[in-house]
Amino acid sequence: MRWLFLLTFLAGSLQDTLPVRFSAAFDSGCLGEVRRIDSVLVRPSLTDSVLHLSYRVISRSDPDNPANPDLVPSGRWFYFLMENVRNKHIYLNFENTDPKRAVYSYDGKNFRRFEHYQASMRKVSAYFLSDSVYIAYFVPYGWAFLQERILQWTGSPHVVMDTLGYSMLGLPIQMLTITDRSVPDRNKSRIWIHARVHPGETPGSWQLDGLLEKLLSDSPQARAYRKHSVFYVVPFTNPDGVIGGYSRSNARGINQEVNWDHPDSLTAVEVKALRNRMDSLTREKPFDVVLNVHAQSSDKISYYIHTQESTSQDYFRREMYLAYLTTDDNPYFFPEDMFYSAPAPRYVEGWLWNRTQGATLALTIETPYSFYNGNPDGEWVTTASLKQFGTYLLRALSDYFQWDVPGRYIINGTVKGNRTVYKKAALPRGTYRVFTWDNAWIPRETIIRKRDGAFRYVIRSEDQSILLLE
């Protein structure tokens, strides 16, 4: 009886003096309700004891949507701080969200996934070695971090930042314009990219971060990208949602993704700002490509391809061409991972289709939180792999527009009878790998050029492009 009393006293003492505290009052923080389920003091020896604490966690849901009352508010995103957890075993049972393996950080900057034996769908069980630990659905990419990155990016002479409008709470909606300003814009490709419509979808920001990092580098390829293009990039279309830690809405509860065709009284101010700037930039010439960057619970990367029946044969062909270019030689993205839909006007793609009838190629791209291609035994998503995927997307855009990039030359052929002839006026000496296009770049042969000069290549086949890699 004396021994039982001692155990009870120790457990009570520990809980009273050092209670575990939960909070989310910080950038992108999100936490709804926490209830302690149980506590047990386990004593494997006379000199060792571990307090086991289990909690029921309910993620905070977005506000009710006044523009679309039938949409159920989401509570997927969570990001909170636990304090006084050192040398305690904590059990977290998430009731209204779907993390497969959440992430944690002891310093709020360096995040890692829980191991497979520590986490499963809706549950986390871990022994913590530090007093404080941050827990999140995925690695955060908050407002303060974006401002640090913008400060770095705007140090480049190729970047101009301005504000295209303000959020409902008064935060600036920032846009980066990136190009080589020594080259006239007249013949450049015009590409618009925006992200974080749904603020909890942080993988999209990490992907975009990798694309921008490559685009602003000093590599010969990056210099060529900037020479041939103008990028208009809106990193956070929903800054209130990001800083407030919402899942899919702004601070008013509006899901901006499905708000493009609403009357003014129900249109999010953020969507109005986006539409106004896109209108002003396309009065004389439409964008060539618009990309809407998201993340999804499905365990794969996907483009939302608009069907031929709902658009046109040419538009569908161009969509599939960019999509397959993005999958080519890409370890994270595969052709079978596409989704297909019609361009509904409530989405930015449908709004653009109605305005341009296909002159602007507009696509949503989705990245996963967990693992790639539905393969839990394969590579799990990291910020590094997402950033790497951003470089694959940039390369796909380059191939799509056939920009003249050092070390990578795409040549269109001319059909002459049963032959296709490829010519390039000047090609440097070197060793080149030759590829032909058939929904992927297919290796054909290696050519050794001993001198600079004109290049001619003949294939006995139908008209297609070839790619030369130096």
Q: How many domains does the chain have?
A: 3
How are the residues of the chain apportioned to helix, strand and coil, as percentages rounded to the nearest 5? 25, 35, 40
7 and 50 part of one domain: yes
451 and 375 part of one domain: no
**How does pLDDT run across 399-423, given as a tens digit for each residue?**
999 999 999 999 999 988 888 999 9
247 and 360 part of one domain: yes
Q: Which of 348, 376, 401 is the last residue of a domain?
A: 401
pLDDT, mean of each 10-residue run, the chain (470 residues): 42 59 98 96 82 97 96 97 96 94 97 95 94 98 98 98 97 98 96 98 98 98 98 98 98 97 95 98 96 97 97 97 97 95 97 96 98 92 98 98 94 89 92 93 94 93 77
- Contacts of residue 299, defined as CB under 8 A and 6 or more positions apart, other chains included, come to 368, 370, 371, 372, 373, 374, 375, 376
**How does pLDDT run across 108-144, given as a tens digit for each residue?**
999 999 999 999 889 999 999 999 999 999 999 999 9
240 and 362 part of one domain: yes
* CB atoms inside a 10 Å sphere around CB 438: 10
183 and 84 part of one domain: no
Beta-strand (E) ranges in 1-102?
A: 21-23, 33-45, 48-58, 79-83, 88-94
Residue 462: per-residue pLDDT: 65
228 and 354 part of one domain: yes
Q: Strands 112-113, 79-83: parallel, antiparallel or unpaired by DSSP?
A: unpaired
**Which CATH number does the domain housing residue 55 bear?**
2.60.40.3120
- Contacts of residue 188, defined as CB under 8 A and 6 or more positions apart, other chains included, come to 179, 228, 229, 230
Residue 8: per-residue pLDDT: 41
Residue 467: per-residue pLDDT: 86
349 and 449 part of one domain: no
Asked if 303 and 290 touch (Cβ cutoff 8 Å), the reply is: no
CA–CA gap between residue 92 and residue 122 (Å, rounded): 8
127 and 155 part of one domain: no
**Which CATH number does the domain housing residue 352 bear?**
3.40.630.10
Beta-strand (E) ranges in 278-328?
A: 289-296, 302-306
What is the CA angle 151-155-161, rounded to 5? 65
44 and 158 part of one domain: no
Residue 463: per-residue pLDDT: 63
208 and 287 part of one domain: yes
413 and 396 part of one domain: no
Q: Which of 401, 427, 444 is the last residue of a domain?
A: 401
- Contacts of residue 49, defined as CB under 8 A and 6 or more positions apart, other chains included, come to 10, 41, 42, 43
Whole domain around residue 448: which residue ranges?
A: 408-469
Residue 17: per-residue pLDDT: 56
113 and 148 part of one domain: no
Residue 417: per-residue pLDDT: 83
Residue 2: per-residue pLDDT: 42
> Which amino acid is residue 304, in one-letter code?
Y
Q: Which of 95, 121, 136 is the last residue of a domain?
A: 136
